[in-house]
């Protein structure tokens, strides 16, 4: 089951049912974007007479969960598509909704947002047909997050508003907090940071009521981003500090990394360069501890960009060279070329500056 809270940070907390137990513990993925709540849907996938077809469909669902956990996204999709076909033949609409939810999140992880949108629209339609209010809350939030990824913030905003209305009507604190947080994301994407801050503060209240520590960490990170966009660096630092504390409590590494980097940017905005560099280097250390080459590469680029903004040629060149080495090691040719061009541009500009200085002597 997925409930996204940040477009770049997709995370998984799947159904606590007979089928979903096989998927429990799926690895956190980027992007983010992220599940917040452990929700149980009372969907008896084995309702009625257990026959060969149903057992096969349930087996395929479990298999897909195992494959997804192992990072074999495409194989997981194939397994779930087979299961979906069987559930259609059995006319089990509830089970189809579960499959569409899994498919939507996995397509999103693969960056196949057209497919993700289609699956999530089908999931939401099923929830509406069944009068499943919780399904509608989270389905609308999921679909809205994909629309944000597709640069459709206005459409996403409408879906988040719909989800909020339903969540409030059934007094669902978790769904209300998630919907407010996503409304903040939509407002931020629409260049309305003041409105985003208001939504995030409302989200925090409900997420605390729901004891949703991971969700509150995501909201606090979002709040930090909004304050930073407004130039309110002290408030941003406070929000990121809270996100860091919560992410440690929830043992959520992506949120911790994001908060650590955010603190680096916030303290840079406050003119506290030593503290800023310390946090940006901590972010690099976390990535190395996780043996996450992609995160290491991104952290090195962030440090290089920081030192370049602040006129430190030596450190900028050093971090560019490290980034190139990592990109080469993991076969990321595109990033390698980009960083190589940045390094060459840096050296050219530095050479021009030195020549100009020599002419003035």
Q: How far apart are the first and last CA of the chain?
A: 68
Q: How confident is the model at residue 359 (pLDDT cuts 50, 70, 90)?
A: confident
Q: Tell me, what's the pLDDT at 24?
A: 30
Instruction: Give CA separation, 316 vs 208, 242, 263, 276, 296, in Å.
Output: 41, 30, 20, 15, 16
Q: E-strand spans in 6-82?
A: 9-10, 32-33
Across 87-104, average pLDDT: 94
pLDDT digits (tens, 9 = 90+) for 42-60: 344 454 545 899 999 999 9
Structure tokens at 100: 């569409």
Instruction: Give CA separation, 174 vs 85, 108, 132, in Å.
Output: 32, 23, 16
pLDDT of residue 36 exceeding 90: no
What is the value of pTM for the model shown? 0.81
Across 185-202, average pLDDT: 97
pLDDT digits (tens, 9 = 90+) for 66-83: 999 999 999 999 999 999
pLDDT digits (tens, 9 = 90+) for 146-164: 999 999 999 999 999 999 9
What's the CA gap between 333 and 287, in Å, rounded? 20
pLDDT digits (tens, 9 = 90+) for 269-303: 999 999 999 999 999 999 999 999 999 999 999 99
pLDDT of residue 261 exceeding 80: yes
Calculate the dihedral angle through the C-alpha atoms of 125, 129, 135, 140, rounding to the nearest 10 degrees. Answer: 30
**Contacts of residue 238, Cβ cutoff 8 Å, sequence gap at least 6:** none
What's the CA gap between 248 and 152, in Å, rounded? 33
Q: What is the mean pLDDT of the chain?
A: 87
Across 345-355, average pLDDT: 87
Domains delineated in the chain: 9-291 (1.25.40.10), 292-361 (1.20.58)
Q: Tell me, what's the pLDDT at 235?
A: 98
């Amino acid at each position: 089951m997925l409930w996204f809270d940040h477009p770049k940070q997709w995370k998984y907390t799947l159904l606590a049912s007979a089928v979903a137990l096989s998927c429990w513990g799926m690895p956190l993925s980027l992007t983010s974007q992220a599940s917040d709540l452990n929700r149980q849907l009372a969907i008896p996938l084995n309702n009625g007479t257990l026959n060969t077809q149903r057992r096969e469909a349930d087996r395929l669902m479990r298999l897909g969960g195992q494959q997804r956990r192992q990072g074999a996204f495409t194989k997981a999709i194939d397994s779930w598509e087979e299961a979906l076909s069987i559930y259609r033949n059995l006319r089990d609409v509830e089970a189809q909704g579960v499959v569409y939810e899994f498919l939507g999140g996995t397509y999103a992880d693969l960056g196949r947002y057209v497919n993700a949108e289609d699956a999530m629209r089908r999931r939401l339609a099923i929830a509406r047909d069944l009068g499943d209010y919780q399904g509608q809350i989270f389905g609308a939030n999921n679909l809205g997050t994909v629309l944000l990824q597709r640069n459709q913030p206005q459409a996403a905003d409408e879906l988040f508003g719909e989800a909020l209305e339903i969540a409030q009507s059934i007094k669902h604190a978790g769904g209300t907090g998630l919907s407010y947080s996503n409304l903040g994301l939509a407002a931020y994407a629409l260049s309305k940071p003041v409105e985003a801050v208001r939504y995030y503060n409302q989200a925090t209240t409900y997420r605390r009521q729901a004891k949703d520590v991971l969700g509150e960490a995501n909201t606090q990170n979002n709040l930090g981003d909004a304050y930073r966009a407004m130039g309110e660096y002290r408030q941003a630092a406070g929000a990121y500090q809270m996100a860091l504390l919560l992410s440690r409590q929830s043992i959520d590494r992506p949120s911790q990394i994001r908060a650590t980097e955010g603190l680096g940017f916030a303290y840079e905005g406050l003119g506290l360069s030593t503290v800023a560099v310390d946090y940006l280097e901590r972010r690099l250390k976390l990535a190395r501890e996780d043996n996450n080459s992609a995160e290491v590469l991104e952290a090195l680029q962030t440090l290089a960009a920081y030192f370049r903004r602040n006129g430190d040629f030596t450190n900028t060149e050093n971090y560019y060279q490290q980034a190139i080495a990592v990109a080469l090691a993991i076969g990321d040719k595109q990033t390698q070329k980009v960083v190589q061009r940045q390094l060459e541009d840096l050296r050219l500009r530095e050479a021009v500056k030195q020549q100009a200085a020599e002419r003035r002597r």
